[in-house]
Copies of this chain bind each other. A is one copy, B any other.
């Protein structure tokens, strides 16, 4: 029996607004598409939350035994300011400001995104397609929608004909928006006169003379609309329909709503079976915004180099903190909350270290603790299979951690556990921390050894002082200082050390 049969996954489908049992389109296989970054700036917390949320989905499905194809794109053209159909391309604007060729901007921020994702231990996607790398596919898709009579060309641009689409299709069902409300709220914007209906959106835009990212098309030189790229790339690499489409909640409208319309328009069917969305985050209770001065990028978190940060927070602290909340909950960042996360994670790794070195005596094969131990493991799976609830999974790991300490304090307790149950408990604790949640200890073996040798020196020094051998105790302090390690006497007689 496969793990995914034993612990079937239930997930919240944004489309149905309910938790549904996950049934893959092809047994044993899962196709996932996640909207990746628009690469015109350094990656920030929003990027991290989306990538980590779906990294968990990817990791857990793999752990359960599914064969996963995980596609996460890079948006390197067509995403205009304010997510609109008019205005400047975000990348072109950055290129203009930095006096670079647009693809240099793309390369620079794609690199910084990939670096941050690696630091956060986010597994790389199986395929990382770029929008500029799939212009032909986007042109073909636009052509298909035109053929279906659901788009029209005006002055070298092609727009999706939403009014026509509404005769048979729905628009707003994913985001819960109502067309009439949307119409009221649509502001007149430049170029809107080309559209037959205010909610129509661009599939292809004619390039103005100054627009340097441009390609030939049946409608003249231009560039693709933002929404069409994800439909083109997901269809190419995952087929139609595919299992899971993910993204941040802010992408539900208009981006994902338009993807559904395009999919229906081009293929005559719902393109995606399950839509999943991670929620937004705030900093100190406020929305992140450049104008509020609380826009902190990931490298600033990792180095502590921002006025709002009390200290540096390591990538794993950020990751752990995010996993403490369910991906569908909002999440507020504060120094206090991050410091608490840092401490909690240290405790968890402390238990992991103890458990790694703990061996069961071999007998008995069964014991009075077995039921409790197996229950822990089942809870890990049940929580993860319940819409990837990492918050509850971490809570179980902390309960397990208490059990580890109990075994450690009182070794006789270990004999109350059967070998098989203990080993399953041990292996699951480790697997869920390292592989499923993707956490790892950051200090590493080198730091451990350094800590160990300094501890030996501190103990020797304590002993020397107790024996009033001040020559030796001073020598140890001075020798350490000479290589850059400072000993500090704590109030309770404890000695700490820092690297200068």
Contact = CB atoms under 8 A, between A and B. Distances in A.
A217 to B, nearest CB: 9
A227 B132 CA distance: 21
Contact of A127 (B103, B216, B460, B499): B103
Interface stretch (A85-93, A261-269, A444-452): A444-452
A127 B95 CA distance: 13
Contact of A446 (B111, B129, B447): B447
Contact of A128 (B107, B447, B479, B485): B107
B456 A450 contact: no
Contacts of A184: none
Contact of A107 (B126, B480, B484): B126
A43 B142 CA distance: 38
A483 interface: yes
Interface string A88-122: 00000000000001011011100100100000000
Nearest to A448: B483
Contact of A133 (B111, B133, B454): B133
Contacts of A140: 216
Interface in A116-150: 124-130, 132-136, 140
Given A101-B237, A107-B127, A449-B485, A133 B132 contact: yes
A134 B76 CA distance: 14
A3 to B, nearest CB: 22
A445 B447 CA distance: 11
B111 A124 contact: yes
A453 interface: yes
Nearest to A455: B483
A215 B215 CA distance: 15
A358 interface: no
A442 to B, nearest CB: 12
A457 interface: yes
A280 to B, nearest CB: 29
Given A107-B128, A453-B450, A483-B449, A136 B136 contact: yes
B132 A135 contact: no
A6 B456 CA distance: 56
Interface residues of A, number: 45
B104 A127 contact: yes
A69 interface: yes
Contacts of A128: 107
A452 B215 contact: no
A237 B136 contact: no
Nearest to A137: B215
A348 interface: no
Contacts of A134: 133
A344 interface: no
A80 interface: no
A476 B450 contact: no
A453 B483 contact: yes
A126 B95 CA distance: 13
A74 to B, nearest CB: 10
A480 B499 contact: no
A453 B485 contact: yes
A213 B449 CA distance: 51
Contacts of A479: 456, 459
A456 B476 contact: yes
Interface in A153-171: none
A140 B215 CA distance: 10
Contacts of A237: 101, 103
Contacts of A114: 114
A225 B447 CA distance: 52
B125 A449 contact: no
A216 B129 CA distance: 19
A114 to B, nearest CB: 8
A464 to B, nearest CB: 10
B133 A104 contact: no
Nearest to A449: B450
Contacts of A453: 450, 453-454, 457, 480, 483, 485
15 contacts: A69-B104, A101-B126, A103-B129, A104-B126, A107-B128, A140-B216, A448-B483, A452-B484, A452-B485, A453-B454, A453-B483, A456-B479, A456-B480, A456-B483, A459-B479
Given A101-B127, A448-B483, A457-B457, 14 more contacts: A69-B101, A69-B104, A101-B126, A103-B237, A107-B126, A107-B127, A133-B133, A136-B136, A136-B215, A136-B216, A452-B485, A453-B453, A456-B479, A456-B480
Interface of A: 69, 101, 103-104, 106-108, 111, 114, 124-130, 132-136, 140, 215-216, 237, 445-450, 452-454, 456-457, 459-460, 476, 479-480, 483-485, 499
